[in-house]
Chains A and B, each alone.
Chain A
Amino acid sequence: MLAPQVEIMLVAALAGAACALPGVFLFLRRMALVGDAISHAILFGIVVTFLIVRDLRSPWLLIGAAGTGVLTAVAVEALRRTGRVKEDAALGLVFPALFSLGVVGIARGVGNIHLDLDAVLLGELAFVPFDRLTWRGWDLGPRGVWVMGGLLLLNLTMILAFYKEWTLSTFDPDLAEILGFRPAVLHDLLMGMTALTVVAAFDVAGVVLVVAMLVVPPATAALLTDHLARMLGLSVLLGLASALGGYGLAYALDLSIAGSMATVGGILFALAFLGAPGHGLIAQARQAARQRRHLAQQMLVIHLLSHEGTEAEHEENCLRTLPLHLRWDPAFAARVIEQAEQMGWVVREGELLRLTEAGRQAACEIIGSNGGMMPLSR
C-alpha cells in the first residue's frame, strides 16, 4: 500500500512515458495534433453510445470513445492517403465534423438530461487513489497504475517489435513499399496503438496531460538529438521529468496536476529551444557569429593579397582605411585583424598590414577553391 501522493506520481509518470513513445512517431509523421483531434472527436462516440445505453456510468461509453478514437485515426489516414489533402488538413476535416455531430446529438437526443462530459472522460489525476482495483478482497492498487502501466508495456513492446519497420516507413515510405513492407498497414497499426493509449489515458489522467505529453517531450527531444533511438529514450525521460516536476509544482502550490505537468513540459522545451547544443537559439547565434568572423578573415587576406605589391598598397592595406574599404564596423575590424594576427596570417608594420607566408597561402587556397575566380575587392 503506497501513499496516495506516490500513487498519483506513479500514474502521472507512467502516463507521461506511455504517451511520449508514440508521440515521437507522430512528431516525425507530422501528426503531432492527433491527440488533440481525438480528444474532440470522441464526443461523437460518447454521445452515440450514451443514446444507446442511457447510462452515464456504463463502461460502454469508454469503449465507444475508444472506437471513435481509432475511427478518427483511420479516417484521417485514409483521407491523407487519397493524396487530395495533407496530414494537417485531413485532421482538421475529420475531427470538427465528428465533434459537430456530437454536439448535434446532445442537442437532439439527450434533451434535458445533463450530459456531463467532465464526469465521463476527463480523468483527474488527483482522484487516482480513490479508484482501486480489488480481487477477492485484496487491494491491488489504483486502477490507473494498471491501465497506464499496461499501456506503457504495450507501447514499449510494439515499438521494440516494429522498430525497424516503423523507422523505415516513417522516414521513407516509398522505399518501405518497394522492399515489400506495407507502410499503410504499419501506419494504421501505429495509429491504432496511439488512439488506444490516448483514450485510455484520457480516462485516467485527463485530456490536458495526454495532449501535452504526446507532443511536448518528443518535440523537445528532437532539438537534442538526431538519432531515433535516442529521441525515443530522451522523450520518455522528458515525459517522466515533466510528470515529476509538474507534480512537485502542483503539490507545493496546490495547483492542477495535469496543467502543471504541461507547464513544466513547456519550460523544458523553452530551455532546449534556447540552449540545446547545435539546434538551440544560442548555439545557432554563436555559430553564425563564428561563420561571420571566419568569412571576414578570408576577406581580409584576399583583400591584402590583391593589393600586395601594387602602388596602392599603402593606401589599401592600411589599418586606417580597411574598415571603410571592407565596409566593416571599426570595432569589428579591429577584432578581425587581431584574430588574423593570432592565426599568424598577417603582421603589422606601423599602419601597414602585411601578409605572412601562411596568410598568402591561405588566401591563394581560398581563391583556388572558388574556381580560380578573383573575389570582388575594392
Chain B
Amino acid sequence: MGFAFWLDPTFRLVAVGSALIGAVGGVLGTFALLRRQSLLGDAMSHAALPGIVLAFLLVGSRDLPLLLAGASLSAWLGALLVVLITHRSRIRPDAALGLILSVFFGFGIVLLTVAQRQPTAAQAGLERFLFGQAAMMLQRDVEGIALATVLILVVVLLLWKEFKALAFDPAFAAAIGLPVMALDVLLTTLIVLAIALGLQAVGVVLMSAVLVAPAAAARQWTHRLERMVILAGGFGALSGVLGTLLSGWIGLPTGPMIALCASGIALFSLLFAPRRGLVWAVQLPRGKRDAGPSG
C-alpha cells in the first residue's frame, strides 16, 4: 500500500472538507466550552431525530436533503429551547441540554413508531446520520461547507467583542446593554449550522468530539481567547486532515478516525502543554504549581 491516495482528487476533496469542518468546530467549540455547553453538539444531534421522522412522515420520501432540512430545523428549535430554559430559569446548561436531548429524542422515537406503521415504512437510513460518510463528499458539498465556513468566521469576527463578553461574563454583557439572549441565539444557531455541516462527514455522535476536543486542547496552551480560538481552529483542521489520512491509509471509517485524532491532540495537550500540562504538575514540587483557573 503506497501513498498514492494522497494524490487522489477525491481524497483531497474529503480532506479539505474535513479540515474545514474541524476548523469551524474548533472555533465555535471554544465558545461552547467557555459557556459550559460543550455537549451542545451531542444534544443537538439527538434533537434532530423528530425533525427527520416528521419530514419523512409529511412528505413520505427518503430524500436526503429533505431529511437534513428537517433535522436542522428540529435541532435549531431544540437549541432555541435550551437558550430559553437557561435564560429564564434556574436550570443550568448541562441539565437544559439533557432535557432537550432526551425529550426530543424520546418524541422522535414516538414518531418513529408512527412512521413504521406507514405502508411506505422502512426506516429512513439513520445509520448514515449516526456515523457519517465522509467518503461520499462531493465537490458540491465541499463548496457548501467552504461557503458556510466563511460565513460563520465572518460573523464571529464581526461580533468578536460581543461573543467574548457573552462567553466570560454574561451578567456584565447584559449590564452594558448587550442583547444577551439574542447573541446567545445567534451563537447557538452558528453551532447548529456547524453540526449540520458535520452530520454528513463525521456523523452526529462524533460531531461532539470535533466541538469539544480541539477547544479543550487549545485551552491548555493559552489563557487568551484570541489565541485559543486560532489554536482550536488549527487543531480541528489538523484532526480533519490527519483523520482522513489515517482512515484512507488503514481503511477505517473516517468519522471515528477524525474524532480519535482530536481526542489524541486533547490528551497530548492535557499531559504536555507548557505550565498546565499534568506531567509538569507531577514533577514540580508542591507550591510551585501554577495551572491557572480551569475551564
**Chain B residues within an 8 Å CB radius of A67:** none
Asked if residues A33 and B42 are in contact (CB atoms below 8 Å), the reply is: yes
Q: Which residues of chain A from 139 to 177 have a CB within 8 Å of any chain B CB?
A: none
**Chain B residues within an 8 Å CB radius of A222:** 90-91, 95
CA distance A325 to B41 in the complex (A): 51
Cβ-neighbour of B109 out of A35, A79, A216, A258 (below 8 A): A258
Asked if residues A92 and B211 are in contact (CB atoms below 8 Å), the reply is: yes
Tally A-B pairs: CB < 8 A: 208
Asked if residues A32 and B106 are in contact (CB atoms below 8 Å), the reply is: no
Contact flags A259-274 to B (C-beta < 8 A → 1, else 0):
1111101100100010
**Chain A residues within an 8 Å CB radius of B95:** 27, 30, 32, 215, 218-219, 222
**Chain B residues within an 8 Å CB radius of A284:** 88
Q: Does A84 contact B (CB under 8 A)?
A: yes
Q: Does B48 contact A (CB under 8 A)?
A: no
CA distance A270 to B102 in the complex (A): 14
Secondary structure call for the B interface: helix
**Closest CB-CB distance, B67 to chain A, in whole Å?**
19
Q: Does A326 contact B (CB under 8 A)?
A: no
Asked if residues B85 and A103 are in contact (CB atoms below 8 Å), the reply is: no
Asked if residues B93 and A255 are in contact (CB atoms below 8 Å), the reply is: no
Q: Does B71 contact A (CB under 8 A)?
A: no
Secondary structure call for the A interface: helix
Asked if residues B106 and A258 are in contact (CB atoms below 8 Å), the reply is: yes
CA distance A169 to B270 in the complex (A): 26
Contact flags B91-120 to A (C-beta < 8 A → 1, else 0):
111111111011101111110111001000
Asked if residues A92 and B220 are in contact (CB atoms below 8 Å), the reply is: no
**Chain A residues within an 8 Å CB radius of B46:** 36
**Chain B residues within an 8 Å CB radius of A35:** 98
| CB within 8 Å for A88 and B252 given contacts A97-B263, A219-B95, A284-B88 | no
Q: Which residues of chain A from 55 to 88 have a CB within 8 Å of any chain B CB?
A: 79, 82-88
**Closest CB-CB distance, B279 to chain A, in whole Å?**
11
CA distance A256 to B101 in the complex (A): 17
The 4 A-B pairs at the shortest CB distance, nearest first, are namely A262-B106, A266-B103, A259-B109, A92-B212
List, sorted by A's number, 11 A–B pairs whose CB atoms are closer than 8 Å.
Answer: A30-B94, A84-B220, A86-B36, A86-B294, A92-B39, A97-B263, A107-B252, A212-B105, A223-B89, A255-B113, A256-B110
Interface residues of A (CB under 8 A from B): 27, 30-33, 35-36, 40, 79, 82-89, 91-93, 95-97, 99-101, 103-104, 107-108, 208-209, 211-212, 214-216, 218-219, 222-223, 250, 254-256, 258-263, 265-266, 269, 273, 279, 281, 284
